[in-house]
């Protein structure tokens, strides 16, 4: 076996059945019965993969990545349209549920999260959105000094290779961001014509206000997850170790300093120690749970579960934010993706085309175009993100979205989400063990602002659907009829009954200067604790306007540089 700095043997990807034997080998090499690494990263999701690549690049430090999920070998991950299959896949998806919410008619929402190398970047709908520039200036206003747009924009540049429709490339980053405007369905032309009719601008990238085709994270027609872009190259280095199906039970402390992690797998428990730091990168759901199980969190909650309180902080698990959205479904007057994907012979033709060219419907996201818009006059910046999807499908009560088997008739979707909701919820442990499910309480639609923006967003969609261009595509609405909703209360009632998460949870270990209202400082160090950082979407001081995968990777890239600077 190869060795890493400090004498630790190189472990490529270890599945839990072989972990005890490998760890005994480490012990035999003289590390006091405990595997030791310079840095331990908890979570191989969007942030963890970027951290692993960044911290291992100079070859000076040994890096262990712990992933509670499995390897990313499923063909549904590589296939872009496979999003419809991974959406409820039991071995690739944690399939969380929120507690029931009175504001949503007593419904419990389904929250998919990646349970695999690459995390949610391995199962998401592939849309790459940095966010609007003002989002990051909001972070500075919240106390995250040094995270303004002018500072973070160059960090995004280092992540990306931007590939045009003609194959031209801009940038040299590991994450391929593909412009597929030449492949999106012809029905999308009606969306752009409707935007023109409304006097809305057209833009090339979604970081600006206006109608656009969404860029997606694919390379050669296959999903470019964070694992493919960042972790795979890092794993070729002798100083990187990845353990799958290895869940972080709790952090190990010496006084107020974190020295390691207690790990649980199917083979039992073991300990790994960190010579420099432990970085929690388990995501907005799991990261606060790890801190709470380790004794950092709301004192009353911890005591209720028999956990000794090392740090009393209501902010751990608090400030939960997420995007809520709703779709309006329509029958179309012309073929849409439904006709390309529904009949068996046409699906077979798409499969053959994809196998030969890595192009066509199977190589794309269902979210093909949309953008950021101001729903009414007088707003200083866009308040809504829109989606136009040239496909329609049923959503079952369990939350399954059968994108691979759409409706048998031509159909399409207009959907929206308010960009910056002000409601704040919580995520907390329900018990002291790693297998205890999280208590997710989003507290949705709890502010007048959020309810007002729901109405504004729906009114904007009504105006879009009422244009002559869109009327030419609409055969008939599929109930409930957006165009028939005349009063605000009807719009809000429908939204409460049908809305769902857009799967962008953030903020549960928020970044800020004040330890009383935040969990980490602007260098992602946990307040009052040595040797410990949190680096993932949970540190967002406020939610970005759109999809959160890109800013999560940006945070990890910048945090990796900070960690090496501090070393």
Contacts of 527 (CB under 8 A, 6+ apart): 313, 515, 518, 519, 520, 521
For the stretch 7-50, pLDDT in tens is 333 333 444 333 333 333 333 232 334 579 999 999 999 999 99
Three-state helix/strand/coil letters over 152-165: HHHHHHHHEEEECC
**Cβ(319)–Cβ(508) under 8 Å?**
yes
Please give the share of the chain, as a percent, with pLDDT higher than 70.
92
**What does the pLDDT read at residue 395?**
55
pTM: 0.93
* Domain 1-175+223-323+423-444+504-567 coded CATH 3.50.50.60: yes
Please give the share of the chain, as a percent, with pLDDT higher than 90.
87
3-state helix, strand, coil in the chain (%, to 5): 30, 25, 45
Which residue, 324, 334, 354, is CA-closest to 223? 354
- Angle value at C-alpha 231, between 54 and 207, nearest 5 degrees: 70
Helix (H, G, I), strand (E, B) or coil at 240: strand
230: DSSP letter: I
Rounded-to-integer distance, Cα 295 and Cα 288, Å: 11
Helix (H, G, I), strand (E, B) or coil at 45: coil
pLDDT band at 224 (very low <50, low <70, confident <90, very high): very high
Exposure string of 429-467, with b = 16+ CB inside 10 Å and e = fewer, is: beeeebeeebbbbbbbbbeeebbbbbbbbbbbbbebbeb
Instruction: Quickly tell me which residue has 């595997």 as its tokens.
Output: 35
Determine whether 299 is exposed, middle or buried from the number of CB atoms within 10 Å of its CB (0-12, 13-18, 19+): middle
Please state the rounded mean pLDDT for residues 199-205: 93
**What does the pLDDT read at residue 399?**
46
pLDDT band at 482 (very low <50, low <70, confident <90, very high): very high
Map out the domains of the chain as residue ranges: 1-175+223-323+423-444+504-567, 181-214+324-418+462-498
Rounded-to-integer distance, Cα 537 and Cα 546, Å: 13
Residue 407 has pLDDT above 70, yes or no: yes
Rounded-to-integer distance, Cα 362 and Cα 380, Å: 38
Beta bridge partners of 261: 251, 272
Which whole-number Å values give the CA distances from 207 to 93, 419, 546, in the listed order? 29, 13, 9
Which residue, 147, 444, 427, 421, is CA-closest to 287? 427
**What does the pLDDT read at residue 309?**
97
The token pair at 382 is 């866009």
Residue 467 has pLDDT above 60, yes or no: yes
Instruction: Quickly tell me which residue has 């470019």 as its tokens.
Output: 224
Q: How many residues does the chain have?
A: 567
Rounded-to-integer distance, Cα 291 and Cα 250, Å: 7
Please measure the distance between the N-terminal and C-terminal CA atoms of the chain and give it in whole angstroms. Answer: 28
Question: Which candidate in 176, 185, 319, 504 is catalytic?
Answer: 504
CATH numeric code, 181-214+324-418+462-498: 3.30.410.40
**What does the pLDDT read at residue 35?**
79
Please state the rounded mean pLDDT for residues 190-204: 97
**Cβ(85)–Cβ(123) under 8 Å?**
no
Please state the rounded mean pLDDT for residues 268-297: 97
For the stretch 435-447, pLDDT in tens is 999 999 999 999 9
Residue 545 has pLDDT above 70, yes or no: yes
Please state the rounded mean pLDDT for residues 284-311: 98
**What does the pLDDT read at residue 144?**
98
For the stretch 363-379, pLDDT in tens is 999 899 999 999 999 99
For the stretch 43-102, pLDDT in tens is 999 999 999 999 999 999 999 999 999 999 999 999 999 988 999 999 999 999 999 999
Please state the rounded mean pLDDT for residues 319-346: 94
**What does the pLDDT read at residue 530?**
98
**Other beta carbons less than 10 A from residue 172's beta carbon:** 9
Q: Where are the alpha helices (DSSP H) in 3-148?
A: 19-28, 46-56, 75-78, 83-86, 133-141
**What does the pLDDT read at residue 23?**
37
Which whole-number Å values give the CA distances from 447 to 379, 444, 450, 509, in the listed order? 18, 8, 5, 22
E strands in 164-317? 169-170, 175-178, 210-213, 218-219, 222-223, 240-244, 247-254, 257-265, 268-280, 296-297, 311-312
Which residue, 132, 133, 131, 129, is CA-closest to 148? 133
231: DSSP letter: I
**Cβ(122)–Cβ(549) under 8 Å?**
no
Please state the rounded mean pLDDT for residues 367-394: 95
For the stretch 148-165, pLDDT in tens is 999 999 999 999 999 999
The token pair at 91 is 């071995």
Beta bridge partners of 311: 296
Please state the rounded mean pLDDT for residues 390-405: 63
- To the query of whether residue 504 is one of the catalytic residues in this protein, the response is yes
Please state the rounded mean pLDDT for residues 135-140: 98
Determine whether 392 is exposed, middle or buried from the number of CB atoms within 10 Å of its CB (0-12, 13-18, 19+): buried
Helix (H, G, I), strand (E, B) or coil at 188: helix
Q: Cis peptide before 255, with omega less than 30 degrees from 0?
A: no
Helix (H, G, I), strand (E, B) or coil at 341: helix
């Amino acid at each position: 076996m190869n060795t890493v700095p400090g004498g630790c043997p190189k472990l490529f990807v270890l599945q839990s059945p072989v972990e005890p034997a490998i760890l005994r080998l480490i012990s035999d090499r003289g590390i006091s019965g405990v595997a030791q690494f310079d840095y331990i990263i908890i979570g191989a999701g969007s942030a963890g993969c970027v951290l692993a690549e960044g911290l291992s690049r100079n070859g000076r430090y040994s890096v262990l990545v712990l992933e509670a999920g499995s390897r990313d070998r499923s063909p549904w991950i590589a296939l872009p349209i496979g999003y419809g299959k991974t959406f409820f896949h039991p071995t690739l998806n944690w399939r969380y549920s929120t507690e029931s919410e009175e504001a949503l008619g007593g419904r419990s929402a389904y929250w998919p999260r990646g349970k695999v190398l690459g995390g949610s970047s391995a199962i998401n709908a592939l849309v790459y959105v940095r966010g609007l520039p003002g989002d990051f200036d909001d972070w500075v206003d919240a106390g995250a000094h040094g995270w303004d747009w002018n500072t973070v924009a160059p960090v995004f540049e280092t992540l990306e290779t931007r590939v045009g429709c003609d194959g031209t490339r801009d940038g040299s980053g590991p994450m391929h961001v593909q412009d597929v405007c030449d492949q999106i369905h012809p029905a999308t032309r009606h969306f752009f014509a409707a935007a023109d009719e409304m006097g809305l601008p057209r833009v090339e990238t979604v970081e600006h206000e206006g109608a656009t085709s969404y860029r997606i994270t694919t390379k050669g027609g296959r999903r470019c997850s964070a694992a493919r872009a960042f972790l795979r190259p890092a794993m070729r280095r002798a100083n990187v170790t990845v353990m799958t199906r290895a869940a972080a039970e709790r952090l190990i402390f010496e006084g107020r300093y974190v020295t390691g992690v207690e790990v649980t797998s199917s083979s039992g428990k073991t300990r790994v120690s960190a010579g420099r730091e432990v970085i929690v990168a388990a995501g907005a759901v799991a990261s606060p749970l790890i801190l709470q199980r380790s004794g950092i969190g709301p004192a009353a909650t911890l005591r209720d579960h028999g956990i000794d309180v090392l740090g009393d902080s209501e902010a751990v698990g608090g400030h939960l934010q997420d995007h809520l959205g709703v779709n309006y479904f329509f029958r179309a007057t012309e073929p849409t993706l439904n006709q390309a994907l529904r009949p068996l012979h046409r699906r077979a033709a798409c499969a053959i085309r994809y196998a030969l060219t890595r192009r066509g419907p199977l190589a794309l996201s269902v979210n093909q175009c949309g953008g950021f818009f101001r729903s009414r006059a007088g707003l200083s910046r866009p308040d809504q993100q829109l989606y136009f999807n040239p496909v329609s499908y049923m959503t079952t009560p369990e939350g399954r979205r059968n994108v691979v088997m759409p409706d048998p008739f031509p159909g399409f979707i207009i959907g929206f989400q308010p960009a910056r909701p002000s409601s704040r919820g919580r995520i907390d442990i329900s018990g002291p063990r790693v297998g205890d499910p999280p208590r997710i309480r989003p507290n949705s639609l709890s502010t007048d602002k959020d309810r007002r923006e729901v109405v504004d967003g729906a009114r904007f969609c009504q105006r879009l659907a009422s244009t002559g261009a869109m009327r030419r595509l609409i055969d008939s609405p599929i109930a409930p009829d957006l165009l028939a909703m005349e009063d605000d209360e009807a719009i809000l009632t429908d939204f409460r009954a049908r809305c769902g998460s857009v799967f962008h949870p953030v903020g549960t270990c928020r970044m800020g200067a004040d330890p009383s209202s935040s969990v980490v400082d602007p260098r992602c160090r946990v307040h009052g604790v040595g040797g410990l950082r949190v680096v993932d979407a949970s540190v967002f001081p406020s939610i970005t306007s759109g999809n959160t995968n890109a800013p999560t990777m940006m945070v990890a890239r910048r945090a990796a540089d900070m960690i090496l600077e501090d070393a």
